[in-house]
Structure 1
Amino acid sequence: MRNFSSRPAGWLCLSGALLLCSFIVPVSASRAEDDPESLDIMERQMERLQQQQMELQRDLMTMRKQIAQHRAHLGGSTGTGGHSLQVSGSAGHVRGGWTPQEGQPTAMGERMPASMGRPHIGGHSDNPNGSFIDTPTFESVVAHRDEDLISHMANNNVGPHTRETVGAQSAGALGSKVFHAGSVSIILGGFFDAAAVEENRHVASGIFNSWANIPFHNSPNFHTDNFTGDARYTRFSLMARAPLNAHTTVAGFVESDFGASAETTNPYESNSYVPRLRQAYLTLDDAKRDVHFLIGQAWTMLTPDRVGIIPRQESLPETIESSILAGQTWTRQWQVRMVKDFLQHRLWTGLSIENPATIYDTTGFGAYNGSDNGEYALPGNGNYAKVGSNGVGLTGSTTNYSNEIAPDVIAKVAWDPSWGHYEMEGIVHFPHTRSVVDGVGENHTAVAWGGGGSMILPVIPHHLEIRLAGLAGKGIGRYGSVLLPDTTLKENGAPGLLSSAQATAGVIAHPNKLFDVYGYFGMQRSGRNYFDADGSAYGYGNPMSDNTGCWSETSSAACTASIKSVEEFTIGAWYRFIKGKYGTVQAGTQLAYSRVHTWGAIGGSPTTSLSEIFFDFRYLPFQ
């Protein structure tokens, strides 16, 4: 039998001496030079000191367990023989057998050294009976560094976003610096952005692709190149978070840029774009019950995720274009979300109630009595349908807000095994209209629905991955980047749902810490729903509509083509050419080709296309 009697004292003395030396050296160094650089070095040394302290605690606990097991074998009395490991804290927890492995991310965003691949325990306190009770400290769990420790625990070879990647920036990545105001931690994020695009058609939407407005041959814009540059997508974000108790954390997150346009905005002098709200939400995370709550404006839960179902871990392309990618599933909207995870953060289930909105196509339906307030004429004398109302008060007076009777209901299941990330989701939506037909008023509600999934396949973990995602259903076109319509109108004024499908596929490579290279294909497609009455064609994709004027710039005929599908192929790269204690500066370029197909009608099925080259520079002061 091995002798354990002297080993704890020896190890403890050696570890204590090392700990004391590691503390004395940085303190004396900081006194020698009192400048920002030395303070930064001191901060890093303090982080190493915290890590050494954690290792010492683990070594001590391991030795105590060995002593307890030895005494139990000899018939001694102790309360630790069947001890179950548990670490909990305000940002996440480790239970059961989860043990960080060598090369895995730690709470400090670093790689786990081989010496740390042992059972993970926080602090402890002895009790009079000779047994011990786990009392993990806040430092031992989060090390004052990572605001989302729980995302590191998936261990799916995909891992959380690297903060410097554009996909992380799109989702709302925060910086690595943490400031403290009492018990509240404040973390800043965002970047300064200067982007530009050269395109072979004039689509006056800047770096935001508006695929539905790509001109056909009959428009002069089809024959005109265009260059646009702006800084309006410069972004700022902030999160305040604090532990409510040993297991529960509350946080608030807000993100804004200048993507909105006021009525007085012009490109000739001031370029005075106004701030807009991107995200603003509150979260509550209960690490004991593995329950996560979110309320506010955030990326819809239909947006594919990278790890679990976690805010700011949405799987978004690395593209420069602010409309992301044709076929990408996303919106940012108000929601109330409840998520529960199981099996050591491997299996996730979520239910979200989200703000509804319906995009109507009213091709063939003229405005009722000249109204521009969401009222459209139906076949017959005096018949009309009401689909929405223009904004009043503090909403946009030129925007028509659709009638909605109930929120959208979204459910999702996510799975993080040891290789890859996989999701399945579904949605139910309720388009609602009011009509008057032959003097009788009636309300109409349809049930729109959809389902889909996504996956991330880490072909070479953290260096090369494949992303696949898709969503299909009826009446859910607005959840795709192209914003194809959800519904048209039936003859009686009820919603006429349009089938919808969208998909994306991408290959993303990270050859080293300085370069990101990507290639994507995206597609969104809409069905057709139509009828003919009184010798006129109504509805989306009606084969009796007039497309004869779509082909020639000199034609005076109509061009009422309904979009059948939009496809986009794109490749690009980012290079981080400056990275240090003052932040990161990166540059990117992207080539994109989009093609629009339409439903056949009188005059054929016109197509159009758009070729673009994007450039972007970003300074990330907090990354």
Structure 2
Amino acid sequence: MKLRSALLAAAAANILVAGTAGAATAHKPRHKAPAGNQQLQAQVKALQEEVEALRSEIGAQKTSQVATQAQVESTNSALQATRTEVQAVQTQVAATPPVTKEQVNTQIASAIDKEHHNSKLYFKGITITPGGYLELAGIYRQHFQGNDISSSFSIPFPNNRASHTSEGRFSARQSRLSFLAEGAVNPHVQLGMYGEFDFQGGAQTANSNQSNSYNPRIRTLYGTIDWNEGDHGWHLLAGQNWSLLTTNAKGIVPRAELTPPQIDAQYVPGFAWARQPGIRLAGDFLDHKLWIAVAAENPQTTFAGTVPPNVTNNQQAGSGFDAANTLSLNHLPDGIAKVAYDTHIAGNAVHVEGFGLVRSFDAHLNGAGNNTATGYGYGGSIVAQIVPGVLDAQFSGIGGKGIGRYGSAGLPDVTFSADGQIHPLNEFMLLGGATLHATKMLDVYAFAGEEQENRKVLSGGTYGVGLPTANNSGCFIEGGACAGNTRRIRQLTAGFWEKLYQGSYGRAQVGIQYSYTQRQLFAGVGGMPQVSQNMGFLSFRYYPF
């Protein structure tokens, strides 16, 4: 302001001088201004411009001061908000328990695992997931049966001399290797391939004398195509997999088959299953809750009773098979249809399914053509979360004619009458069990199962299964006669799995299983004998993937 006043005063003084000089020279002509007056006017104009520039600069300074003040106020507000946030964090930290050294190490290990470990492999756009485990199992049986990790439920009676001694062995043959390969053709189409292998194959050269040279075998090996269309989809499977009638935990999805969790590789009597080649088409609807599937699967037939001399029902295995085995005569695959539904009841997940089975049995009447019979089965299962994350339960049942080979106990499918006609056997299977997830590291389970066939007496009591004339009088006498057919197999089993380690380097666990099994014969001469078997299993497993 002082500078502006001084400039204005100087300008006024210059104007005054200019006016005086003009009066003194008034006698001169007005058409030509003196040079000094022109110079004075130029100076005044320059001073006026300078004054205006100073006014503009002062206005800009005021505007800058206002903006700076607003910025200061904004910074103060942000600072106050930060102080409030810091106080809230300090309050939260004060209320949070101190982090232990073990927790810090766990977090560090998890970060390292994410950074340096990857459970999948990638090749030309295909994602490959390895799997499997190594197992050392210990097996104990009260009565010697000569079985490895897969039990035979045809328990020997005391007439069998070997049954008077117990059985104990180690086995690593249930160790398993698997892989899953997946590739997305586009957002709606995905291709997949899955293979799973163990070492329970037993060629004629395999033995337990020295090298224990047991060979690998296929458990499952199949390919899939999935077409997903939002709330529904279609799924094609071709290859060797669990039979469609095997209980699923969810939908009708490969690798979601729900097997009892015990160590014994033959599972529990009453559990219906098979692993065999076939082709399957499934569709899911209602936002993937309703599933419908049909399948054609490889046929085989098991026989019981006397086979008439004019009947050919088996053929010695040919190319690609072990010549010591035989194959049943079959020309049509087993047909299976299944419906499954997933829902929630009171917040608990529930899976329900039902299925139907149609089978064809064949034989040749020597010189008189072929003989064919039809078998069928029907059943279902329910899987439910009794307490989510804590207790799961399952129940399944199947009934029908000619369904024996789909049961764990392996009861026969059919028998013959004297004229060579095939007669499927009536049978039912039941299984129930529960698994308690006691802790994150401990699972405890218990199951009960049963398989039972009906008597079939044919041709005046000379053919069939469960003949009343069968001699059971020596079943409990060493070396005695015990000719009856098996009527029923029952089992109670329980056990647990304890995880010893689970983290960046896989999972290690130990399991113990105990089972009590009963075998009952059809009533014959000498009564309806029954024998039992106590078995125990111990398993150490390491899952590296």
Q: TM-score, normalised by structure 2?
A: 0.77
Match of 2:368, SS state, is strand
Which residue in the other structure is 1:66 paired with? none
Aligned partner of 1:177 among 104, 119, 123: 119
The answer as to whether partners of 2:467 and 2:484 remain within 8 angstroms in 1 is no
Say if 2:180 is the partner of 1:254.
no
Aligned partner of 2:419 among 486, 492, 505: 492
Structure 1 residues 40 and 515: CA distance shift in structure 2, 3 A: closer
> How far apart are the structure 1 equivalents of 2:402 and 2:157?
26
Say if 2:478 is the partner of 1:537.
no
> How far apart are the structure 2 equivalents of 1:317 and 1:388?
33
The answer as to whether partners of 1:387 and 1:432 remain within 8 angstroms in 2 is yes
Which residue in the other structure is 1:327 paired with? 270
Aligned partner of 1:435 among 347, 356, 365: 365
Which residue in the other structure is 1:576 paired with? 499
Which residue in the other structure is 1:204 paired with? 146
How far did 1:531 drift? Answer: 2.3
Which residue in the other structure is 2:228 paired with? 287
How far did 1:445 drift? Answer: 1.1
How far did 1:410 drift? Answer: 0.3
Say if 2:337 is the partner of 1:417.
no
How far did 1:40 drift? Answer: 6.3
Runs of 4+ more than 4 Å apart: 37-40
Structure 1 residues 227-238: aligned runs within 5 Å: 227-238=168-179
> How far apart are the structure 1 equivalents of 2:156 and 2:459?
27
Structure 2 gaps, min length 5:
1-106
Structure 1 residues 177-576: aligned runs within 5 Å: 177-212=119-154, 214-288=155-229, 290-361=233-304, 363-365=305-307, 376-377=308-309, 384-418=310-344, 419-436=349-366, 440-532=367-459, 537-555=462-480, 558-576=481-499
Range moving further from structure 2, 540-549 or 568-577: 540-549
Partner deviation per Cα, 1:191-225 (whole Å, 9 max, x = no partner): 0011011111001012211012x111211122211
How far did 1:46 drift? Answer: 11
> How far apart are the structure 2 equivalents of 1:454 and 1:416?
12
> How far apart are the structure 2 equivalents of 1:222 and 1:583?
41
How far did 1:537 drift? Answer: 2.4
Match of 2:259, SS state, is coil
Structure 1 gaps, min length 5:
1-36, 48-175, 366-375, 378-383
More helix per residue? 2
How far did 1:276 drift? Answer: 0.5
The code of the aligned residue for 2:477 comes to S
Match of 2:443, SS state, is strand
Partner deviation per Cα, 1:495-546 (whole Å, 9 max, x = no partner): 111001101000111122201100000101111222246xx72221111222
The code of the aligned residue for 2:412 comes to P
> How far apart are the structure 1 equivalents of 2:364 and 2:260?
39
> How far apart are the structure 2 equivalents of 1:580 and 1:41?
12
Partner deviation per Cα, 1:407-458 (whole Å, 9 max, x = no partner): 111000001012311000110000111113xxx4121111100100000121
Match of 2:255, SS state, is coil
Which residue in the other structure is 1:105 paired with? none
> How far apart are the structure 2 equivalents of 1:260 and 1:461?
39
Q: How high is the sequence identity, in percent, across the aligned residues?
A: 32
How far did 1:189 drift? Answer: 0.6
How far did 1:551 drift? Answer: 2.3
- Of structures 1 and 2, the larger Rg is shown by 2
The code of the aligned residue for 2:466 comes to G
> How far apart are the structure 2 equivalents of 1:281 and 1:466?
29
> How far apart are the structure 1 equivalents of 2:109 and 2:268?
43
> How far apart are the structure 2 equivalents of 1:553 and 1:297?
43
Which residue in the other structure is 2:9 paired with? none
Which residue in the other structure is 2:52 paired with? none
> How far apart are the structure 2 equivalents of 1:38 and 1:559?
66
The code of the aligned residue for 2:509 comes to Q
The answer as to whether partners of 2:417 and 2:459 remain within 8 angstroms in 1 is no
> How far apart are the structure 2 equivalents of 1:539 and 1:554?
25
The code of the aligned residue for 1:599 comes to F
Partner deviation per Cα, 1:53-89 (whole Å, 9 max, x = no partner): xxxxxxxxxxxxxxxxxxxxxxxxxxxxxxxxxxxxx
Which residue in the other structure is 1:84 paired with? none
Match of 1:203, SS state, is coil
Say if 2:512 is the partner of 1:589.
yes
> How far apart are the structure 2 equivalents of 1:553 and 1:39?
62
Partner deviation per Cα, 1:258-308 (whole Å, 9 max, x = no partner): 001111222121111110111000000111150011000000010000000
> How far apart are the structure 2 equivalents of 1:452 and 1:550?
35
> How far apart are the structure 2 equivalents of 1:279 and 1:234?
14
The code of the aligned residue for 2:465 comes to Y
Match of 1:304, SS state, is coil
The code of the aligned residue for 2:350 comes to G
The answer as to whether partners of 2:306 and 2:415 remain within 8 angstroms in 1 is no
> How far apart are the structure 1 equivalents of 2:288 and 2:407?
29
Say if 2:539 is the partner of 1:619.
no
How far did 1:314 drift? Answer: 0.5
How far did 1:564 drift? Answer: 0.6
> How far apart are the structure 2 equivalents of 1:602 and 1:364?
18
Structure 1 residues 7-86: aligned runs within 5 Å: 41=111, 44=114
| Equivalenced residues, count | 433
Partner deviation per Cα, 1:229-285 (whole Å, 9 max, x = no partner): 110111000111101111110011111110011112221211111101110000001
